[in-house]
Homo-oligomer: A and B are copies of this chain.
C-alpha cells in the first residue's frame, strides 16, 4: 500500500495536474495554495459561461457545496468532467445544515458521478442516512467516529460508497476511506486542525490534486491525501507548540509541510489500518 501511495504523491509532483475547483470564497485561497503545495495548479472558474471549457482543460474537478450560488456551474462542469472521464471530488460542506444544502447535494449526487466524496462525520451521515444534525461546518460530537463505533461507521461508509459508486472519505480524529470493498482507518492529524477554517476544504482540494495525477486510482488518491494531511498536521502542530505559536501559524505551517512533503515521508509516519 505504502508503495502505491508514494507513487500517487510523486505523480502529482511530476505531472502538475490542473485542478478546477468550484469552491467557497471563504477558503478558496487556502485551497489554491494547498493544490500548489502538492505540485498541482489550481483554476477556480465558477462562471456558467466558461466552466465547461475550463473543466475540459483540467485534470480533476472539485465541487464544494459551500459555493451554493454556483450550483448550476457545478452541474455543468460535473457532467462535462464525467463525459471526459475526469475525476470529480465532492465536498458536502454542512450538508445537513439547511434544506437547500440537502437538496443541492442530492441533485449533484444524482446527476454527477463522483470519484470521491470527502466530508466530516456529520456531513457524510447527513448524506448517507439523512440525519440532519450538522451545526454549520463543524462535525457534531455525537456523529464522531470512535474506536467503539468503528466497525459500525465503516459499514455506513461502505454502504454509502456502494450506493454512490464513489470512494468515500469520512475524516476526523479517526479517518475512514473506502471504495466499498477495501476500507482503511487512518490516525493522525491534531486537534488544532479544528481551530482553523478550511482544513476540510483543503483536504478535499488535495484529494482532487492526487486524483488528477492518478485518475484511475481514486481510492489510493484519497488515502494518500488523508495520510499526507495527517502527517503534515502532526508536524505542523509540533512546530507550533515548540515555537509557542497559535492557530494562524498552524495554518501556514500545515501548507508549508505539504509543500515539503516527500513520498519517503510516509515510511514510519503513516498510521493506517485495514478494516475487514
Chain A residues with a Cβ under 8 A of chain B = 18, 20, 24-30, 32-33, 36-37, 41-45, 47, 49-50, 53-54, 57-58, 68-69, 94, 97-101, 135-138, 195-198, 244-249, 251-260
B246 lies within 8 A of A255 (CB): yes
The reply to whether B94 and A195 form a contact with Cβ atoms under 8 Å apart is no
3 nearest A-B residue pairs (beta carbon): A246-B256, A43-B136, A248-B255
Residues of B within 8 A of A29 (CB): 26-27, 29-30, 197-198
Copies in the complex: 3
Closest beta carbon of chain B to A89's beta carbon, Å: 17
The answer for the CA separation of A248 and B34 in the assembled complex, in Å, is 9
Question: Contact between A255 and B259 (Cβ–Cβ < 8 Å)?
Answer: no
Which residues from chain B contact A249 at a C-beta distance below 8 Å? 252-253, 256
Contact of A41 with B97 at beta-carbon distance under 8 Å, contacts A249-B252, A257-B246 already known: no
A136 to B54, CA, bound (A): 7
